[in-house]
Chain A
C-alpha cells in the first residue's frame, strides 16, 4: 500500500514541479478552443448545430486528459532511459503495486490537467447546462484518465526507444483524438468512419461529458452506454497494462 502511495506521490511532485510544462501543455487546448471555437463557430451555427464553443469544450477537455494520461504511461520510456525504473524493479515490492502506483499517479495528473483546461473553457465562455453535474463530468475525466494511463503503460512497457514513441504518437494518439468526435458531431458520417469512431474509447468519454455538461440532445450515445464502455475497456486495459509491465526486462 505504501509503495503505491509513494509512487503516486512521485508523479504528483514531478507534475507540480514542472511549471513550464504545465503552462506549455495549456497551449494546445487553447489553440483548439479559441481558433476552432471562434473560427468554425459561424459555420457550425449556420449548419444548425448551435454554439461550437459549447460543443468543442468537452472535446478539448477530453483531449487534454487523453494526452496527459497516455504520456504518463509512456513516461516509462524516460524512466527506463534515466534509470529510475530499475530502482523500482529491484525493490522488494510486487510489480503490480508499482504499476498501480504509477498508473494512479499518471491518471491523477491527467485529471488535474483536465480540470485546469475546464477552468480555461469556462473563462473562454463555455457554460454547462447544469453546474451541479460538473462532479459527474469529473467522474468521466477520471475514467478517461485511467483508461489511457493503462494503455500508455501497456505500450510503454514494450517500447525500447524514442522512434517507437513517434510512431505511437502519429498512428495511435492523434487518430484516437481526431476520430473521437471531439471536434465534430458523430452524426451522418460515412459508414467506415462511423465504425471507427465507435471503436474509439475516447468517443464515449467525450460523449459522456457532453451528456453531462450539455444535455442528452448534444450527445450521440446514451450516458449508460458511455459509462459501460469506459469501465469495460478501462478494466481490460488495466489488466493488459499490468501484465505487460510484469514482463519488463531490464
Chain B
C-alpha cells in the first residue's frame, strides 16, 4: 500500500531524511518511531504531498504523490501533530466541510458522519462548537474526520500527544476497530512506546534521518536483546536528549495563546 524507496530530503546542507526505504502492506498498522527531529514528520509530509522529496521514490496505492497529487490526496486521511479543526464550527460542520472538500456524495456524507461520530462517541455533542470540546474529543473528531472519505491509508502524526491515558487508550481502540472493519492501512508516529507495542503490527525506527531498524515489535525486542520496546528504542537511538529550536510556528503558537480569548 505504501512503498518508499531510497527517500532523501535535504534542507540546504542539512539532511533531514537520508536514504529511507520501507513498505507497508494493505491493512497493516505501521508505527514510525524516532526521537524529536529524527525525520518522522518530514517523511510524512513527503508522503502526503506537502513536501517534494529531494530524491527517491514514493508510491501510495500504486500512485506517485508528485505526479498524481489529487488522486493521492483522495486516497489518504491525515491527522496532524497539531489540531486542524475550525473551533467556531460545530463537529457536524467540520465533518461537512471535509466531506465536500473530498467529494463525498451528500448521502454517503450524512451516513458516514453519523456512523463515525457515533463510533468515536461524539454524536451527542455533534451540534456543539468544537472550541468547547476537550483535548481528547478534538483528537477523536479529527480522526473520525480523517476516516470520512473512506481513505485507503490514514496517517496519524502523534495523535495522542497531550492526552490522558484513558483518552489514549480509547482512541487507539477506535482506530483499531476501523482498521479491522474497513481494512484501512494506518501509518502512525508516537512517542509512547507502549502504544506502538500494543497497536502496531510493524515498527520502523528512524534516527538522524536514517531508518535504523524495522520489524514486528517482537522482532525488534529480540534483535536488540531487550525486554520492552522502550528499552529497544533507547538502545537504538541513544539516550541523549534532542533539543529542537523553536521554529516560527512554535513561536506563533505561543503568541496565539495570548490571543486565544479573541475571535478564533
Tell me if B101 and A92 are in contact (CB < 8 A).
yes
Question: In the complex, which residues 157-181 of chain A have their Cβ closer than 8 Å to any Cβ of chain B?
Answer: 160-162
Max chain A CB contacts within 10 Å: which of B71, B89, B100? B100
Which of B90-98, B114-122, B175-183 has 4 or more CB atoms under 8 Å from chain A?
Answer: B90-98
Tell me if A91 and B86 are in contact (CB < 8 A).
no
Contacts of A216 in B (CB 8 A): none
Contacts of B48 in A (CB 8 A): 90
Tell me if A2 and B100 are in contact (CB < 8 A).
yes
Contacts of A224 in B (CB 8 A): none
Tell me if B93 and A91 are in contact (CB < 8 A).
no
Contacts of B49 in A (CB 8 A): 90
Tell me if A14 and B84 are in contact (CB < 8 A).
no
In the complex formed, the residue of A with least CB distance to B259 is: A162
**Closest chain A CB from B188 CB (angstroms):** 17
Question: In the complex, which residues 56-86 of chain A have their Cβ closer than 8 Å to any Cβ of chain B?
Answer: 75, 78-86
Contacts of B256 in A (CB 8 A): 78, 81-82, 162
**Closest chain A CB from B255 CB (angstroms):** 5
Query: Does B135 count as interface, using CB distance less than 8 angstroms?
Result: no
Inter-chain residue pair count (beta carbon < 8 A): 93
Tell me if A250 and B50 are in contact (CB < 8 A).
yes
With A81-B252, A162-B252 already in contact, the answer to whether A13 and B101 are too (CB < 8 A) is no
Tell me if A6 and B96 are in contact (CB < 8 A).
yes
Tell me if B100 and A83 are in contact (CB < 8 A).
no
Contact bitstring B39-66, A, C-beta under 8 A = 1, else 0: 0000000001111000000000000000
**Closest chain B CB from A167 CB (angstroms):** 14
Tell me if A18 and B100 are in contact (CB < 8 A).
no
**Closest chain A CB from B257 CB (angstroms):** 10
In the complex formed, the residue of A with least CB distance to B98 is: A87
Contacts of B83 in A (CB 8 A): 82-83
CA distance A3 to B73 in the complex (A): 15
Max chain B CB contacts within 10 Å: which of A84, A87, A89, A250? A87
Query: Does A46 count as interface, using CB distance less than 8 angstroms?
Result: no
Tell me if A14 and B100 are in contact (CB < 8 A).
no
Tell me if B88 and A17 are in contact (CB < 8 A).
yes
Q: A10-B93, A249-B50 are in contact. List 8 more A-B contacts (CB 8 A).
A: A2-B100, A17-B88, A81-B256, A83-B85, A86-B80, A87-B84, A88-B101, A90-B48
